[in-house]
Amino acid sequence: MASTSSPQSGSAPENRASDAILAVRDLYRHFGGIKAANGVTLEVGRREIAGLIGPNGSGKSTLFSLVAGTVKPDSGQISFDGHEIAGMNAHRIARLGLARTFQIPAMFDNMTVTENLLAAAAQGHWHGAKERAAETLALLKLEPVAENRASDLSGGQQKLLEFGRVVMRQASLILLDEVTAGVHPNIRKIILEAIARLRERGISFLIIEHDMEMVRNVCDRIIVMDAGRVVTSGAFEDIVRNSEVMQTYLGRPQ
């Protein structure tokens, strides 16, 4: 472990418990012999945008599924906005104010773009949903395809719609799983602007991202995962200076 390196170690408790919206402690989940979560400990502060990086298979997406309740942990605690949510059903966690995107866009294929947005608000946040759907369509420049079926959208538009549904949820913490991967620079710009606007409203983010430029520009803090554990966390510059991390993540010594 990198416990002696200058960025604080992920396995040591961080001194931000009071203002953390998400606190994960000693989270374990094994799939057969694969240790997808092998003692994950991390926190996301209120109004913070935390970036989650790590090589493929390091357990980032599994961590999202564990936090969102899609996958149940073997052991460990997850505290979200004052509630202990480890093992809770996904829809109950969502109702507490957690929203997520999926790595592969999870469209409601046979529904229109507008219906996809409305469905995201169908549980709980229905008041004014039609107006918010219209705003979201405008914000993400999806108006021309508002009445198209989601399955007819391009890959980039589906990424936008996936993001738009999260915006509709009025969540306090949003988990974004490679939301700009493979999308056109124009669409990426739209998403980044929207993230900035949502943060101004007090929403926190945990973002899985492979694009280091985006990580540098958007994230307040970087959390590095490898082999189902948090290796280290800290400011982007500190992480980049740490040669061990760069070897883990980029496979090249500095």
Partner 1 sequence: MKSRWAGLIIPVAIVVVLALMPTFVNNYWLRIATGALMWAGLACSWNMLGGYAGYINFGQSAFFGLGAYTTALLMGDPINLPFFVTIPAGIAVTAICAVVVGGPTLRLRGAYFAIATWAFAEALTQFANVMNFTGGIGGLNLPPFLNERFFYYTMVGAAVLTYLITWALFEHSRFGLKVKALRDHEAAAEAMGINTSLVKLQTFVLSAVTASVFGAIFAYWVTFINPKSVFGGDITDQMVVMVLLGGLGSLRGPAIGGVGLFVINRLIWMHWGDTAFYIAILGAAIVLVVLFLPDGIAGLFTRRSTKSGTVLDKAVGKLVGGGEGGRG
Contacts with partner 1 by CB under 8 A lie at 68-70, 89-91, 94-95, 99-100, 102, 106-111, 115, 118-120, 122-124, 126, 149, 151-152, 165, 169
Q: How far is the CB of 183 from partner 1 (least distance, A)?
A: 19
DSSP states of 113-161 as a string? HHHHHHHHHSSS--TTHHHHHHHHHHHTT-GGGTTSBGGGS-HHHHHHH
Q: How far is the CB of 16 from partner 1 (least distance, A)?
A: 26
What count of other Cβ atoms lies within 10 Å of the Cβ of residue 186?
9
Helices and strands per DSSP (H, E), number in the chain: 9, 10
Rank residues 111 and 227 by Cβ distance to partner 1 and give the closer one: 111
Q: How far is the CB of 174 from partner 1 (least distance, A)?
A: 11
Tokens 């306090």 sit on residue: 172
Rank residues 117 and 219 by Cβ distance to partner 1 and give the closer one: 117
Rank residues 2 and 99 by Cβ distance to partner 1 and give the closer one: 99
* CA–CA gap between residue 90 and residue 106 (Å, rounded): 15
Q: How far is the CB of 36 from partner 1 (least distance, A)?
A: 17
Tokens 């953390």 sit on residue: 20
Rank residues 205 and 236 by Cβ distance to partner 1 and give the closer one: 205
Cα dihedral value 29, 35, 36, 41, nearest 10: 70
Q: How far is the CB of 73 from partner 1 (least distance, A)?
A: 17
CA 19 centroid distance within chain? 19
Q: How far is the CB of 129 from partner 1 (least distance, A)?
A: 8
Residue positions counted in the chain:
254
Per DSSP, 224 falls in state: E
Q: How far is the CB of 222 from partner 1 (least distance, A)?
A: 25
Rank residues 31 and 126 by Cβ distance to partner 1 and give the closer one: 126
Q: What is the three-class DSSP state of 178? A: coil
Rank residues 131 and 200 by Cβ distance to partner 1 and give the closer one: 131
Rank residues 125 and 199 by Cβ distance to partner 1 and give the closer one: 125
What count of other Cβ atoms lies within 10 Å of the Cβ of residue 128?
10
Q: What is the three-class DSSP state of 105? A: coil
Tokens 């994950």 sit on residue: 40
